[in-house]
Structure 1
């Protein structure tokens, strides 16, 4: 290390010492605890702004607490970032409208609804909604539990075992029991919205409640002509009709069929369950997710009447 670096550090240390004395003592008498905290916060804000200007990575800081480390999903209207809490070091997912959709009133309403729905759902197989922040430009930012892996990506890596298929479907149906018990239909069940921790499919959780609706409602009531992924939506959802819990079971049946196509061995019971869940007539499907879980042979833990 050169002599110039030592001089720079010594000068910084001297100035910091003077700043610390000013924060603690003030000009004539000690500051009150409240004033001292305000001053410290302002100094931290100034350091944050300076760090943002000098940073080579260009990482954005949200609410003075979260660093947006990586863009993990760039959708047509929203973006999802992996974010790190600056003080706790914890990882979170933060979902925001794209900048070019900052003034979209329908999207803003949907995102705030998603936050409200998510805050009402607490279950081991549902991604946790943690809080809602507001960006400097007014866009809402949804802070959620961070899970690194998507089931859609896992399906491209290697075949599933029959036990893994059962584990995935047990998690999905258990989560749906909680969703339906709270009075909602998820409406967007697919491998893209099923997340899990590293190497642990038993930790799989349902994510993305952006188009979830109350049971008996239709998406037209949210000013949406159509919502959902065409490969997984039920016939009644595609037609824009009022939806109930059986609409999610249709998607679960298509999901199970997809999993079986990526499975080394399947037996006879799972394909039969996939066909039963994905009947085109809602009346021909199981009554609810708890009944479907029973047909799967899943455990009753973390379930409730739905």
Structure 2
């Protein structure tokens, strides 16, 4: 073991050492004895150093390299060098395109043995705590996963009560810059392409709009019998809907959603004509 002083200060001493598979605390004791530096390690500091080979290297630089392998650091306080684990850092990541709940599983393998992730679905964010070096890798991975192009999906929304053409303009403001929407009037549905996070928000908007809002409409029949047509109309009603047959005036009062009323309109336009009601 060789060391020599450069200048007159202990912390400027250069050392030459060559160890293999040595206990970290034993190595710290050796460095302290070699240089006269007061090196104190916290109880958490432990491990074995596979190789410690330095040739004429400043002792503090050698110490930094040795500790970096274990995610430890040193601090000089009142001529005492205190060695301890590098403190964990916490950072919150709010996602704009991806769903935090979906990428959480992709990030877990990147955590160290002491790292953890906390999910906040309400804000679509992840609070991650880990070692600083791991945090850089995790942050880069999140940035990549949250790219809008990587998170585009297409989802179909079948509407039960409201008409697709009526809800169409109400959904457009909620689309991201990459989003697009198509209305299929034949199935009363919306086909929406957007990022997964935008789709999750749009789904909530649709659910808030597509609820039963009763409207009443009186259908006066000219050729078909109200009592017979009422049986067919019942099939177009949701459980919330209702109808009343007025046989004396050959009318049907229907209480239903706008979408159901539109379908009933089309049905009666086809049925309540002379050619369909002629009987021999």
TM-score, normalised by the number of residues in structure 1: 0.21
| Structure with the higher fraction of residues in strand conformation | 2
| Structure with the higher fraction of residues in helix conformation | 1
Select the structure of larger CA radius of gyration.
2
